[in-house]
Chain A
Amino acid sequence: MTTFVQAIVNGLGEGAVFALLALGFVIIYKATETVNFAHGSLALFGGYIIFRAKEHLPWFPSVVIGVVAAALLGLLIERLLLARAKNATPDSLAILTIGVDIVILTEITRRLGTAAAPFLGDPYDSKPMHLFGATVSRTYVVALIVALVLIGLFFLAFRYTNWGLAMRAQAENREASALMGIRSWRVTASAWLVGGGLAGIAVIFLATNDIGGGSGLLASHTVAFAAFPAAVLGGLTSAEGAVVGGLLVGLTDSIASQYVDLNFASVAVYLVMLLVLVVRPAGLFGRVEQARV
């Protein structure tokens, strides 16, 4: 029973981090119809800035700087690259972000070099605590709480602010919302800003001993990869789907690694995704595309 509680808490905590990543991914997809393959790199970049800032500042201000940096990088990618490729199809833009991802990943991995892997979760990493009679790592609990608060805030903003209204209008019909006076570039740019910021927050939980494992920040890009199946199985057009997908991926990963083995866990995530896609090709909550001739 204690093992089970542990697996569930770990899964929910890890899933909450994936939900943060997948949510950013979905926001970007809804606003620009671009699948952002550079999402892991946004997280990695934020983490690298935090790591550098921590050499001079305490933990919290460093994290703020890193999150802002990741958000700005997202904004820069949209403004400097995607906005310049107006005629490209969504699929080419996805490939463009793969190029961005390769450049950022290569450069940051090179800068980190072979020195000891940086860890970013100072206040909670590797500190056990007791919950329902089981000993769990504090990282998962903190991650779950932070993610729930942020996701809640996002949904409130999405529902009740002008920004949220503009986002929803543009996702519904780009031309019509432009004719209604919504500035398209502001919506897309802010979507990338938010997506980058969420990735920057996710990395402070990814680059820990508990979730990322022994290689710390270096592993965070690989771990963040699981946000793709999370977003896809939830449905790329659905913010709720991203949260559900994230939690589902986290739980699958933690239960499979607890009861089968670590290697099977990453496969299990993809198998679950494949199963969902075979039954529902647009994901659990995704909008089904209609073909028009």
Chain B
Amino acid sequence: MSEAVEAPVVTARRDHETVRTAVKYALIVAAGIVVWLLPAYVKNEWLVVLMWIMTGAVGAMGLTMLIGQAGQLSLAHTFFLLVGGVAYAVFASKGTSEYIGFGLPTLLSALLAVLVSAAAGALFAPISGRLRGIYLGVASLSLVFLGFWLANQLPSLAGSASSGRYAPSLNFFGFDFGVQTPSLYVLNVPMGQTERTFWLFAALTAIAYALGRGAMNGRVGRGWRAVRDNEAMAAVMGVSVVRQKAMAFAISSAYAGLAGVMTVWWYSGLMKPDEAVDHGTYSTTVAISFLAMCVIGGLGSLGGSVMGAALVFGLPLAIPLIRSEDTVSAGGTAFTPVVITNLIYGALIVLIVIFQPRGLAGLWDRAIRLVRR
């Protein structure tokens, strides 16, 4: 957790800098155009995979800041996903005799859901402020168990574990992301629910990345790194350790909450709690997968967490699309996509800790340095 993130290299040649900034903006515009056009060229099933990767990436960005930048080990990430998802479902859907709902505008509900998750993260402060390292990790794990139990105890909020409840998709000032009969065409391809949600997810991921980058490069990030490297030293230098820890948890949980809302959207509005604590969308297994994404990507690196998400969340969905054979009939001991992915990312975690502590992001930096002077 103490892998130092290199400060941006300050170069003396300023004219070089302006060129670089121009290239950066050009790349951002180009990326925007690619995302805009992608749904017209890429099949829907691949869009779904990309969307799931982006959901994982947003969650992993929050966790990587918490673990890699602030040095707080947390295994509770899926709990905050669950809080975000349930909060969105409660705020956005209309109340019925079976489920509690407020029927608020969807955009407002999504924002509120993120705030509720952040508040839940901040509420964990009395515990996170007192504990350190592995004690904190195991203590945070208890939140996942608590969330599982509460979600199953309160079906009027979280939906029943067998069938779940439904929440509406986002309606952005009249632009409906869940439209059933699309009237919008890009290159003569109708932009339906999947295509529109893909745009939404891409935009959210970009915003999450930009905000995270801003936090890490600014005063907040410096405070986190001070706490991570030496708590006593940070306190001596005037950094409030308890406040920094609480803020790191709140921000990380806000990201998890957004990922939770995205999860609900990804399931076309279905909010369904798990049936077992170690198996399902909000389970301990997924909490550990989030940790795996951060480690594989390189702890503390936002770009790395996207790469980690592509591997951990993307592979199990992508493998069946590549291998066309029928995996269901292959029997109990078959190498299913999930088995293959788990073996790959388990082995990758081991290899990365031993050989490349800065993860995929570290490998990427090395590759860049090979071509750039």
Contacts and interface: CB of A to CB of B under 8 A. Distances in A.
Interface of A: 35, 81, 84-85, 87-96, 98-103, 105-107, 110-115, 222, 225, 228-229, 232, 236, 263-264, 266-267, 269-271, 273-274, 277-278, 281-283, 289, 291-293
A107 B145 CA distance: 25
A274 B127 contact: yes
A93 B353 contact: yes
Given A100-B346, A266-B145, A267-B146, A232 B1 contact: no
A274 B232 contact: no
A277 B139 contact: yes
Contact of B342 (A106, A111, A263): A106
A98 B289 CA distance: 10
A92 B346 contact: no
Interface residues of B, number: 51
A161 B143 CA distance: 42
Interface of A is mostly: helix
Contacts of A270: 141-142, 145-146
Interface of B: 1-2, 73, 126-127, 130-135, 137-139, 141-142, 145-146, 148-149, 152, 230-233, 236, 277-278, 284, 288, 291-292, 295, 331-336, 339, 342-343, 345-350, 353-354, 357
A88 B333 contact: no
Contacts of A264: 149
A278 B2 contact: no
A89 B138 contact: no
A283 B136 CA distance: 12
Contacts of B357: 87-88, 92
Given A106-B339, A281-B135, A291 B232 contact: yes
A113 B332 contact: yes
A281 B131 contact: yes
B83 to A, nearest CB: 16
A95 B291 contact: yes
A105 B349 CA distance: 15
Contact of B354 (A84, A277, A281): A84
B134 A236 contact: yes
A274 B144 CA distance: 13
A81 to B, nearest CB: 6
A110 B131 contact: no
Nearest to A97: B350
A138 B277 CA distance: 28
Given A81-B350, A93-B353, A289 B132 contact: yes
Given A96-B349, A273-B138, A289-B132, A88 B236 contact: no
Nearest to A277: B139
19 contacts: A35-B134, A84-B354, A85-B354, A91-B1, A92-B357, A96-B350, A96-B353, A99-B348, A99-B353, A102-B343, A115-B332, A263-B152, A266-B277, A274-B127, A274-B139, A277-B127, A281-B132, A282-B135, A293-B233
A98 B288 contact: yes
Contacts of B137: 35, 94
Contacts of B333: 110-113
Interface of B is mostly: helix
B291 A98 contact: yes
Nearest to A86: B354
Nearest to A104: B346
A270 B342 CA distance: 27
Contacts of A35: 134, 137
B236 A293 contact: yes
Contacts of B288: 98, 102
A281 B288 CA distance: 23
Contacts of A112: 332-333
Contacts of B350: 81, 96, 99-100, 103
B335 A110 contact: yes
A86 to B, nearest CB: 10
B138 A228 contact: yes
Given A102-B349, A271-B146, A273-B142, A291 B231 contact: yes
Contacts of B353: 85, 88, 92-93, 95-96, 99
A92 B134 CA distance: 11
A48 to B, nearest CB: 13
B69 to A, nearest CB: 14
Contacts of A278: 126-127, 130
Contacts of A81: 350, 354
Residue among A35, A105, A112, A270 facing the most chain B CB atoms (10 A cut-off): A270
A91 B173 CA distance: 46
Contact of A277 (B2, B130, B236): B130
Nearest to A221: B278
A131 to B, nearest CB: 31
A80 B300 CA distance: 27
Contacts of A102: 288, 292, 342-343, 345-346, 349
A265 to B, nearest CB: 10
A234 B164 CA distance: 38
A105 B342 CA distance: 9
A292 B236 CA distance: 12
Nearest to A229: B138
Nearest to A89: B2
A119 B73 CA distance: 36
A292 B73 contact: no
A98 to B, nearest CB: 6
A293 B343 contact: no
A115 B332 CA distance: 7
B154 to A, nearest CB: 13
B295 A228 contact: no
A107 B354 contact: no
Given A95-B291, A99-B349, A293-B236, A277 B134 contact: no
Contact of B134 (A84, A91, A110, A111): A91
Contacts of A263: 149, 152
Nearest to B71: A91
Contact of A98 (B230, B232, B292): B292
